[in-house]
Amino acid sequence: MIKKCLFPAAGYGTRFLPATKAMPKEMLPILTKPLIQYGVEEALSAGIDTMAIVTGRGKRAIEDHFDISYELEHQIKDTSKEPYLNEIRDLIDKCTFSYTRQIEMKGLGHAILSGETLIGNNPFAVILADDLCDNIDGESVLSQMIKVYQKYQCSIVAIEEIDKSNSDKYGIIVGNEIEDGLYIIKDMIEKPKPKDAPSNLAIIGRYILTPDIFGIIKQTKAGRGGEIQITDALLTQAKKGIVLAYKFKGKRFDCGSVDGFVKATNYFYKRER
């Protein structure tokens, strides 16, 4: 059903400079694993084995990470360090990875459109790797969303309640609740000022999108920040048909900010030790 997951990964990661000067922000590690690997693991846990990664200049490390390093394999073979490679070997074994480059940085909508060539005419998932999610009841956010998709067969965004003072960091939705925590979107706005925010329901970096979104993005004009916003394209789709917002169960860290990154590090450290 949903076989592919798109990872927009072309951004500069300016909030982490100088760390991200020569290293992709998606490769920043929480403990010993890069952020994007958590994302790929989440996709795989939801039954998706085809990863479509939209990269940009300076992102080669992502491709190398999801590939065999023969020199390292040779050095580490039959030593006590070999188990450190087990998780990534397993992922490389089970998944396929394809890449395309976003040539110009024109926003998240544009990044998703750049992935059209890898996705084709099928519904697909999107993970923004800097939103790191941990499942509490054993079911990842994407798995939960795929269940919703199986029932409704339309685009879905994951949402969580935020403090309204942070509304200018997120897409904000307004909807009619049709099931516990599931809303039909009536309106959505990208990064409104707190006084203009129509609700406290914020979009987080997990989406399921039907492929007609590509045609809609092509027609979508630049919005907030002069960028082509997926939020604006989804609003058009919502007006034409149905787009759902799903309040996920679990924990999410904004690893695109230093503060969230430190919180995630402490949380995973406590959990693993």
Of residues 87, 42, 82, the one with CA closest to residue 65: 87
Residue written as tokens 């994302």?
39
Which stretch, 81-89, 92-100, 202-210, 265-273, contacts ligand G1P (CB under 6 A)?
A: 202-210
Q: Is 10 in the site for ligand G1P (CB under 6 A)?
A: no
Q: Could you give the string, one character per residue 229-268, with x where binding to ligand G1P holds by CB under 6 A and - elsewhere?
A: x-x------------------------x------------
For residues 50 and 4, the answer to whether their CB atoms sit within 8 Å is: yes
For residues 130 and 206, the answer to whether their CB atoms sit within 8 Å is: no
CB 252, min distance to ligand G1P, A: 9
Site for ligand G1P in 61-120 (CB under 6 A): 108
Phi-psi label, residue 250: left if phi above 0, alpha if psi -120 to 50, beta otherwise: left
Angle at 239 between CA 236 and CA 243, to 5 degrees: 85
Choose which of 203, 209, 228, 245 interacts with ligand G1P (CB under 6 A): 203
Q: Could you give the string, one character per residue 159-178, with x where binding to ligand G1P holds by CB under 6 A and - elsewhere?
A: -----------xx-------
Closer of 116 and 130 to ligand G1P (Cβ): 130
Query: What are the residues facing 134 on neighbouring strands?
Result: 251
Closer of 92 and 250 to ligand G1P (Cβ): 250
Of residues 136, 191, 131, 147, the one with CA closest to residue 11: 131
The residue number whose beta carbon is nearest to ligand G1P equals: 171
For residue 75 the two structure tokens come to 């050095």
Site for ligand G1P in 119-158 (CB under 6 A): 128, 131
Phi-psi label, residue 47: left if phi above 0, alpha if psi -120 to 50, beta otherwise: left
Binding-site ranges for ligand G1P (CB under 6 A) = 108, 128, 131, 170-171, 190, 202-205, 229, 231, 256
